[in-house]
Amino acid sequence: MAFRLLVRRVSGVSCFSRLNTSQPLLPLSSCRSASFTVQDHQDFTDRVLNSRLPVLIDFHAQWCGPCKILGPRLEKAIAKQEGRVSMAKVDIDEHTDLAIEYGVSAVPTVIAMRGGDVIDQFVGIKEEDQLDSFVQKLIG
């Protein structure tokens, strides 16, 4: 009996009952970030080389000042594309093997890939409009 009363009270309280329905809900895909941190070589293969989307690879380091400036600019440029491109963040101190494999000799280095092939790359900081053009060229 007490259980039924409890169920009745709980069922009458819903976290959705106070939901503001005047604003549209975002689709689940928009809640996911378009960028991710590479965990290991297999993760890089799965999420970059085998990606159906074009991918920007941001080779960076924690100690790199210019990387801290470029990172947010890249995030902004990627966000403007609304899911048409993703970005892989690779810390060169954690993934030296990937940095060597892709010829990274300075940071920040950004490599654009489509279908597992390198399309373009640059080293250093770029302005937002230059990054937008770079990303747009990758998308095609």
Among 33, 92, 83, 88, CA closest to 64 = 92
Active-site option among 67, 77, 107, 110: 67
Instruction: Look at residue 86 and tell me if it is in a domain.
Output: yes
Total domains in the chain come to 1
pLDDT of residue 7: 41
Instruction: Look at residue 68 and tell me if it is in a domain.
Output: yes
pLDDT of residue 140: 84
Domain span holding position 102? 33-139
pLDDT in tens, the chain (140 residues): 444 444 444 444 333 334 444 444 444 344 456 899 999 999 999 999 999 999 999 999 999 999 999 999 999 999 999 999 999 999 999 999 999 999 999 999 999 999 999 999 999 999 999 999 999 999 98
Alpha helices, DSSP H only, in 20-139? 28-31, 41-44, 65-79, 96-101, 128-139
* Cis omega (within 30 of 0) for bond into 24: no
List pLDDT tens digits, range 62-86.
999 999 999 999 999 999 999 999 9
Active-site option among 64, 70, 99, 131: 64
Among 131, 66, 61, CA closest to 98 = 61
pLDDT of residue 22: 46
pLDDT of residue 34: 87
Active site residue 64: yes
CATH code of the domain in which 41 resides: 3.40.30.10
Among 103, 122, 101, CA closest to 111 = 122
Instruction: Look at residue 6 and tell me if it is in a domain.
Output: no
pLDDT of residue 33: 65
